[in-house]
Structure 1
Amino acid sequence: MNIELHWIASGIILLLVIIFACSAIRIFREYERGVVFTLGRFQQVKGPGLVIIIPLIQQVVRVDLRTVVLEVPTQDVISRDNVSVKVSAVVYLQVVDPQKAIIQVVDYLNATSQLAQTMLRSVLGKHQLDDMLAERERLNMDIQQALDAQTDSWGIKVANVEIKQVDLTESMIRAIARQAEAERERRAKVIHAEGELQASEKLFQAAKILAQQPQAIQLRYLETLTVIGADKNTTIVFPLPLDLLAPFLEKLK
């Protein structure tokens, strides 16, 4: 009987030792760190590899150091020129200080997501709609810098922010289309006016040259008759210069 109790006690002790050893051993991958607390107080950050802790006295919180892709839900943004748009974005963040990420904020992913939503509305609200559509790179940089400055105290590094999509209302899409069409018409008229100006300048220069040589004007008329004669015209109305008739009029007198 005593022998049986002895073996039972030995088995229980061995089982407790195994449980104690299993609960004391932690293995962290290369991209993981463990924030160790001793009796509730921060002690140190351990890992990667094998880490031994004291059960019931020490606790460890596992932190992933890989880059996390955080989607920012679609936000209603009112631009500086009072246009309402829906904007969605993506935030790339990484834990650079596990101690701050666990101690300074309750849930750093949720906190960063909420802060990104606020920053998205705040930064984009300072710009006009044309800037949102044409200057996304600069806006991405502005949001990233503003967000990174806030998350630095949490041990979070915001590496990049990308605006995914800017959705406009149907009425605003039609207004932008009308604006683009008007802009194209304006450019066409400006180009046409510039062409007319250049043509008038060339004609003015040609008139000055022809005015210096009267024979050149007659040759120009003859050349024009040659061009008209090449066409299949039945009736030709051509102004005859009086300079050509002057010799005949003199003889008649």
Structure 2
Amino acid sequence: MIEEYIIPILVIAVIILSQSLKMVKEYERVVIFRLGRLSGVKGPGLFLIIPIIDSVVKIDLRVVTIDVPKQAVITKDNVTVAVDAVIYYRVLKPAAAVTEVENYKFATAMLSQTTLRDVIGQIELDDVLSKRDTINKDIQELLDASTDPWGIKVTAVTLRDVSIDETMLRAIAKQAEAEREKRARIILSEGEFLAAEKMRQAAQLYQDMPAAIKLREFQTIAEVAREKNLIVISTSSNTAEIAALSKAFSQK
């Protein structure tokens, strides 16, 4: 009589044991709820649970990639750009990821989209194009702070593409050309200013030393005479003074 129940009992025992014995991999953890209350986190390896009384939720601890789809964003200077990005995150606290948010994957993806729009909307177009590293860091810090109560760690953010329509691209090209022309004019003006300053200093020198201008005149005549093979006879009354001045300049 007893032998008739041995096999069913063994079958039931095997079923209960199979339901009680759980195994998770190195990169996984299991959050256990006992009668609806959080009991703890198990893993990796083998462990036992109480069937029917215990329920489990498996969490992957590996880095997860979120592909934020391209979306239109208005920058601080009212320029519409299309931006997409890639977000990398991982679960650090499995219990919080299960108990603090209904679906941490969906919530993190939605938060990434809104944070991307908010950050880009506070920056001018020139900075969006030239300061991607700073923008990536700002988005990462904001996401990390927002997802921390969920047990999530945002490890990296990368802006993948920033697209602008053709009309705006032409306007940017014209602006760059105008900026280059402006810089060229500034350099030319600075050169003219320096030349005028040197001429002013020379005029002041000639005014303070009248013989100097006469010396300059003689130098010019001498250069012309050399080129034309001429003989120049001076009738100036202050030749001696000019010669002395010439000697003084040559000594300097």
Shared topology, TM-score over 0.5?
yes
Residue 79 (structure 2) pairs with residue 83 (structure 1): yes
RMSD between aligned alpha carbons?
2.7
Residue 201 (structure 2) pairs with residue 201 (structure 1): no
**CA apart distance, 1:99:** 1.2
Residue 18 (structure 2) pairs with residue 18 (structure 1): no
- Tell me which amino acid in the other structure corresponds to 2:26: E
The one of 166, 169, 192 equivalent to 1:170 is: 166
How far apart are the structure 2 equivalents of 1:157 and 1:42? 22
How far apart are the structure 1 equivalents of 2:26 and 2:218? 93
Task: Name the SS of the counterpart of 2:154 in structure 1.
Answer: strand
The one of 188, 194, 200 equivalent to 1:192 is: 188
Q: 1:198 to 1:56 in 2, by over 3 A?
A: same
**Further displaced range: 121-130 or 169-178:** 121-130
* Map 1:93-242 → 2, pairs under 5 A: 93-225=89-221
How far apart are the structure 2 equivalents of 1:226 and 1:172? 62
Q: Deviation per CA, 1:209-238, whole angstroms, max 9, x where unpaired?
A: 23333443344334445656787x9xxxxx
Identity among equivalent positions (%) equals 46
How far apart are the structure 1 equivalents of 2:63 and 2:223? 77
* Structure 2: runs of 5 or more not aligned: 229-233, 238-252
**CA apart distance, 1:35:** 0.1
How far apart are the structure 1 equivalents of 2:226 and 2:117? 71
TM-score by length of 2: 0.80
Residue 52 (structure 2) pairs with residue 59 (structure 1): no
Q: 1:220 to 1:140 in 2, by over 3 A?
A: same
How far apart are the structure 1 equivalents of 2:200 and 2:34? 95
Task: Name the SS of the counterpart of 1:69 in structure 2.
Answer: strand
How far apart are the structure 1 equivalents of 2:223 and 2:170? 50
How far apart are the structure 2 equivalents of 1:230 and 1:126? 71
**CA apart distance, 1:11:** 4.7
* Structure 1: runs of 5 or more not aligned: 234-243, 248-253
- Tell me which amino acid in the other structure corresponds to 2:25: R
Residue of structure 2 equivalent to 1:28: 24
Q: 1:229 to 1:118 in 2, by over 3 A?
A: farther
Task: Name the SS of the counterpart of 1:54 in structure 2.
Answer: coil
